[in-house]
């Protein structure tokens, strides 16, 4: 059914119910499945698909170990399997192409070595956020940044648009922590946001539900409460627009001339 040497798939945020039919078929045909998932239910589902060839990559993480080092080790492990000729699947939590360096790099390296490799989409935390918060990214537009990237780079905020900041609870910490990340850079994030938003601007702290029957975590606060809000590693920040959009008179008049 599938003649790829490597298939990279997503298990969704809630594996039960969010696995696509195509992803299930791929895992059932695999000789080896390497996986990173968020809960034991997801792990059990994957192991049932490939009882003799499923292997978690979670053990490659280490307390205080740079996350990029771990990601490179994941790629090496996946590519070792591909080179043996075994039909290999790499399964990542959520969408395999969203905040997943190892998935993209595995495909890039496999293709560079002449192997057939591709990615199948999955349901990401962003998909869940749009559904749970009831927002439409086409309404006023939507900006989306990883929080550390947003802080360290000269990003321009359009505060007439929606803003999503991912992995806020990891901001400034490039290592892995099993319990609590170093959030000492959080005041700098607040400082940067206050350049574009008032202190009383509404902010939503969001966490997608990872298990069947669980509800999403949606906590509304105002921006100035960010430092005392108890942000965790799984928290996403959503900021609605702070002002109305402003029409561009130049292009508005030009399009009217074209249509007139």
Q: Judge whether 67 counts as a catalytic residue.
A: yes
Catalytic residue, from 35, 61, 71, 238: name it.
71
Residue 12 Rama label (left phi>0; alpha psi -120 to 50; beta): left
SS (HEC) of the chain:
CCCCCEEEEECECCHHHHCCHHHHHHHHCCCEEEEECCCHHHHHHHHHHCCCCEEECHHHCCCCCEHHHHHHHHHHHHHHHHHCCCCEEEEECECCCCCCHHHHHHHHHHHHCCCCEEECCCCCHHHHHHHHHCCCCCCCCEEEEEHHHHHHCCCCCCCCCEEEEECHHHCCCCECCCCCCCCCCHHHHHHHHCCCCCCCCEEEEEECCCCCCCCCEEEEEEHHHHHHCCCCCCCEEEECCCCCCCCCHHHHHHHHHHHC
Q: Judge whether 93 counts as a catalytic residue.
A: yes
Q: Tokens 């539900």 correspond to what residue?
A: 209
Catalytic residue, from 93, 181, 197, 204: name it.
93
- Find the farthest-apart pair of alpha carbons in the chain and give their distance in angstroms, rounded: 68
Catalytic positions: 67, 71, 93
């Amino acid at each position: 059914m599938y003649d790829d040497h490597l298939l990279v798939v997503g298990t969704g945020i809630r594996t039960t119910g969010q696995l696509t039919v195509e992803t299930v078929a791929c895992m059932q045909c695999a000789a080896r499945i390497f996986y990173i998932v968020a809960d034991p239910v997801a792990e059990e589902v994957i192991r049932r698909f490939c009882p003799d060839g499923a292997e978690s990559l979670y053990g490659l993480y280490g307390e205080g170990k740079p996350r990029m080092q771990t990601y490179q080790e994941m790629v090496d492990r996946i590519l070792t399997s591909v080179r043996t000729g075994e039909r290999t699947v790499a399964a990542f939590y959520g969408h395999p192409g969203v905040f997943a360096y190892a998935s993209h790099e595995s495909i890039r390296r496999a293709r560079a070595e002449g192997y057939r490799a591709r990615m199948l989409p999955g349901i990401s935390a962003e998909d869940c956020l749009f559904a749970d918060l009831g927002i439409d990214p086409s309404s006023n537009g939507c900006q989306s940044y990883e929080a550390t990237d947003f802080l360290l780079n000269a990003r321009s905020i359009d505060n007439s648009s929606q803003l999503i900041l991912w992995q806020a609870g990891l901001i400034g910490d490039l290592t892995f922590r099993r319990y609590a990340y170093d959030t000492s850079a959080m005041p700098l994030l607040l400082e940067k946001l206050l350049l574009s938003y008032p202190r009383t601007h509404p902010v939503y702290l969001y966490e997608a539900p990872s298990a069947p029957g669980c509800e999403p975590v949606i906590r509304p606060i105002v921006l100035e409460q960010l430092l005392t809000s108890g942000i965790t590693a799984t928290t996403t920040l959503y900021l609605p627009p702070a002002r109305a959009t402003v029409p561009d008179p130049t292009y508005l008049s030009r399009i009217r001339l074209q249509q007139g």
